[in-house]
């Protein structure tokens, strides 16, 4: 057994030393010098082979395999074929590849990462896809040149930016179909789903601890979307110092690469939150501008966090902001219409939705609204009047906000979400808000036409105010909305319509 193994190692060593014996002839001064040199090399090789054979002919248990492995590893490694080719030939080969092949090839090794970052390659791809045939140095007057080529990566970044813009422009075309009742694109949900847009919650606690979570549940509605996070990894509420909501687009092919994040909401928790409801297990806290936190009663443990987002420019806010600042909507200022003495005081349209996390309570459209009065810097738009019984609206279902965690579920009474879209005279969004709203019982009767219990719903915000009056009909077991008024700051009207009211 030992003799057979020794014969194997002897043949193996002979094969390793075979290349050393068959070296090419040196370029001596003559044939005689070359023959002498070859004879010396052959004698040295044969001597080395005899020493190796004598070592390997011993029993296998006395053979030092470690020294043999080290001698094999010390031998110079043969370069790959592509590494031996000149860079000019490699660049010529790479010029026949498309953008996808170049991108994946750049992750093979350092050599291909260096070569596939060449600006001339990406300039050719960019011009063939998006531009005209013009000198590549026009938009890059002072490139960084290495061995006669520019390796700044400028045109690679420009290509992918144009590619992303082209794809988003294709989806923007889908957003041109506007719903005349809401003033918003009909296909917003469809576009968000097809672009793989998602949202991440980042909670920062003391000591530098940071938790990043994806939504546990997403609820889509006609004009808004509700996001809910429920996880045991969330820190204690009194330990949270900052909450951030980021929008991003997930790539199904590249999951480990850091993605571009667009900051949508950021909140430093310094002020006391406002409690908007509670039940036997949960107390509901509202953190302006949009975070809703459910905390277990008697504890500081967070049960869930919810955010309601309006569809108005949601795609831009989710993708086009930066990681440190949100997307800024372009400011619009309309030229004053000299022929209209009441420009900005009429022609408004309102779309109002009251909903829970899983169903709508009310969805109504109110056209042709006009200013009822101007007082204390606010323009009042009368939507529903108490004395006009034909305009009163019924609410389907009770006003409550269901919640759910991984193990428990419940509902907060007298609380729901309000999604408001106020359109101007040109059917463009003028004020959009999506926030929780609570209902409280009125101490006095609000209308003599109804004998039931009367309630108020009041929402305050620097951008406006919404006031609603409701009555509970015991026989029908439902709410009726009997009065609705929307207040808008007159300064906002003056800035938008270039007026001076």
CA–CA separation, 289 and 390 (whole Å): 36
- What local confidence, expressed as pLDDT, does residue 258 receive? 60
Percent of the chain with pLDDT over 70: 75
Choose one of 300, 319, 338: the last residue of a domain.
319
CA–CA separation, 465 and 73 (whole Å): 78
10 — pLDDT class (breaks 50, 70, 90): low
User: Is 52 contained in some domain?
Assistant: yes
Mean pLDDT of the 86-115 span: 83
Mean pLDDT of the 189-198 span: 90
Average pLDDT, the chain: 79
Choose one of 279, 301, 319: the last residue of a domain.
319
User: Is 140 contained in some domain?
Assistant: yes
Would the pLDDT of 71 be above 70?
A: no
DSSP 73-125: HTSPPPPPHHHHS-HHHHHHHHTTS-HHHHHHHTTT-HHHHHHTT-HHHHHHH
425 or 48, greater pLDDT: 425
Token pair 């030229």 is found at 335
Q: Is 393 exposed, middle or buried (0-12, 13-18, 19+ CB in 10 A)?
A: middle
Would the pLDDT of 74 be above 70?
A: no
User: Is 339 contained in some domain?
Assistant: no
- Same domain? For 60 and 149 the reply is no
Token pair 């794809």 is found at 167
- Same domain? For 85 and 203 the reply is no
Those residues with Cβ within 8 angstroms of residue 273's Cβ, 6 or more apart along the chain or in another chain = 285, 286, 287, 293
127 — pLDDT class (breaks 50, 70, 90): confident
Would the pLDDT of 205 be above 90?
A: no
User: Is 338 contained in some domain?
Assistant: no
Select from 493, 367, 353, 384 the least CA-distant residue to 427.
367
- Same domain? For 374 and 488 the reply is yes
Would the pLDDT of 77 be above 70?
A: no
122 or 20, greater pLDDT: 122
CA–CA separation, 219 and 221 (whole Å): 7
- Same domain? For 234 and 123 the reply is no
- What local confidence, expressed as pLDDT, does residue 42 receive? 54
- 364-392 pLDDT, tens per residue? 999 999 999 998 899 999 999 998 888 89
- Same domain? For 493 and 350 the reply is yes
Would the pLDDT of 23 be above 50?
A: no
- 286-319 pLDDT, tens per residue? 988 889 999 998 888 999 999 999 999 999 899 8
- What local confidence, expressed as pLDDT, does residue 307 receive? 95
What's the structural domain count of the chain? 4
Select from 278, 300, 312 the least CA-distant residue to 412.
278
- Same domain? For 303 and 192 the reply is yes
Model-wide pTM > 0.75? no
Q: Phi/psi zone of residue 215: left (φ > 0), alpha (ψ -120 to 50 degrees), beta?
A: beta
By residue range, what is the domain housing residue 391? 346-497
| CATH number of the domain where residue 146 is located | 1.20.1280
- Same domain? For 69 and 86 the reply is no
| Among 167-181, 366-380, 432-446, 473-487, the least confident range | 167-181
- 438-475 pLDDT, tens per residue? 999 988 887 778 888 899 999 999 899 999 999 998 88
11 — pLDDT class (breaks 50, 70, 90): low
- 391-409 pLDDT, tens per residue? 899 998 789 999 988 888 8
Percent of the chain with pLDDT over 90: 36
- 248-263 pLDDT, tens per residue? 988 644 445 567 789 9
User: Hey, which residues does 39 pair with through a beta bridge?
Assistant: none
Would the pLDDT of 433 be above 50?
A: yes
Q: Please give the distance of CA 147 from its chain centroid, rounded to a whole number.
A: 39
Select from 245, 215, 218, 200 the least CA-distant residue to 358.
218
Q: Is 418 exposed, middle or buried (0-12, 13-18, 19+ CB in 10 A)?
A: buried
User: Is 176 contained in some domain?
Assistant: no
Q: What sign results for the dihedral spanned by CA atoms 98, 100, 103, 109?
A: negative
Strands 415-423 vs 429-441: parallel, antiparallel or unpaired: antiparallel
- Same domain? For 367 and 475 the reply is yes
- Same domain? For 155 and 192 the reply is no
**Six-digit token string for 474:** 């015991």
Would the pLDDT of 57 be above 70?
A: no
User: Is 310 contained in some domain?
Assistant: yes
Q: What sign results for the dihedral spanned by CA atoms 437, 438, 439, 443?
A: negative
CA–CA separation, 442 and 123 (whole Å): 69
Choose one of 73, 99, 114: the last residue of a domain.
73
- Same domain? For 166 and 197 the reply is no
289 preceded by a cis bond (ω within 30 of 0)? yes
CA–CA separation, 224 and 189 (whole Å): 9
User: Is 181 contained in some domain?
Assistant: no
Helix (H, G, I), strand (E, B) or coil at 153: coil
- Same domain? For 350 and 441 the reply is yes
- Same domain? For 360 and 417 the reply is yes
Number of H helices, E strands in the chain: 13, 23
CA–CA separation, 124 and 95 (whole Å): 9
- What local confidence, expressed as pLDDT, does residue 186 receive? 92
Token pair 């791809």 is found at 125
User: Is 333 contained in some domain?
Assistant: no
Q: CA distances (Å), 84 to each of 23, 92, 96, in order?
A: 20, 15, 20
For helices 65-73 and 2-16, the axis angle rounded to 10 degrees is 20
């Amino acid at each position: 057994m030992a003799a057979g193994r020794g014969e194997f190692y002897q043949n193996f060593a002979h094969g390793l030393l075979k290349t050393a014996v068959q070296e090419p002839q040196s370029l001596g001064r003559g044939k005689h010098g070359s023959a002498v040199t070859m004879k010396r090399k052959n004698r040295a090789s044969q001597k080395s082979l005899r020493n190796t054979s004598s070592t390997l002919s011993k029993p296998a248990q006395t053979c030092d395999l470690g020294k043999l492995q080290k001698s094999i590893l010390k031998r110079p490694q043969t370069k790959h074929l592509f590494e031996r080719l000149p860079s000019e030939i490699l660049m010529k080969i790479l010029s026949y590849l498309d953008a996808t092949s170049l991108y994946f090839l750049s992750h093979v090794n350092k050599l291909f990462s260096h070569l596939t970052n060449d600006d001339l390659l990406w300039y050719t791809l960019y011009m063939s896809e998006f531009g005209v045939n013009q000198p590549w140095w026009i938009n890059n007057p002072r490139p960084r040149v290495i061995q006669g080529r520019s390796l700044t990566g400028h045109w690679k970044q420009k290509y992918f930016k144009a590619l992303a813009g082209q794809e988003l422009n294709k989806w923007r075309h889908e957003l041109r179909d506007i719903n005349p009742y809401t003033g918003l694109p009909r296909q917003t949900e469809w576009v968000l789903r097809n672009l793989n847009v998602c949202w991440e919650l980042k909670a920062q606690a003391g000591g530098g601890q940071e938790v990043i979570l994806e939504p546990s549940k997403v609820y889509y509605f006609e004009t808004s979307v509700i996001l809910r996070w429920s996880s045991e990894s969330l820190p204690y509420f009194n330990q949270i110092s900052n909450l951030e909501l980021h929008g991003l687009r997930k790539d199904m092919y590249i999951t480990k690469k850091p993605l571009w994040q667009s900051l949508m909401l950021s909140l430093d928790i310094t002020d006391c939150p406002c409690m908007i409801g509670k039940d036997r297990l949960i107390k509901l806290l509202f953190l302006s501008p949009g975070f809703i936190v459910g905390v277990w009663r008697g504890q500081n443990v967070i049960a869930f966090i919810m955010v309601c987002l309006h569809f108005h420019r949601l795609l831009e806010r989710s993708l086009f902001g930066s990681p440190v600042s949100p997307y800024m909507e372009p400011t619009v200022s309309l030229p004053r219409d000299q022929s209209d003495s009441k420009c900005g005081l009429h022609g408004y349209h309102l779309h109002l939705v009251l909903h829970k996390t899983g169903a709508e309570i009310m969805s109504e459209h109110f056209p042709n609204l006009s200013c009822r009065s101007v007082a204390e810097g606010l323009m009042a738009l009368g939507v529903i009047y108490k004395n006009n019984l034909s305009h009163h609206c019924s609410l389907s279902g009770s006003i409550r906000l269901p919640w759910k965690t991984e193990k428990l579920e419940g509902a907060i009474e007298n609380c729901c979400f309000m999604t408001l879209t106020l359109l101007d005279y040109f059917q463009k969004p003028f004020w959009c808000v999506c926030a929780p709203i609570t209902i409280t019982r009125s101490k006095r009767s609000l209308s003599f036409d109804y004998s039931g219990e009367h309630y108020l719903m009041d929402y305050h915000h620097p951008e406006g105010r919404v006031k609603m009056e409701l009555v509970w009909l015991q026989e029908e077991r439902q709410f009726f909305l009997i009065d609705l008024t929307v207040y808008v700051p007159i300064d906002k009207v003056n800035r938008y319509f270039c007026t001076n009211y």
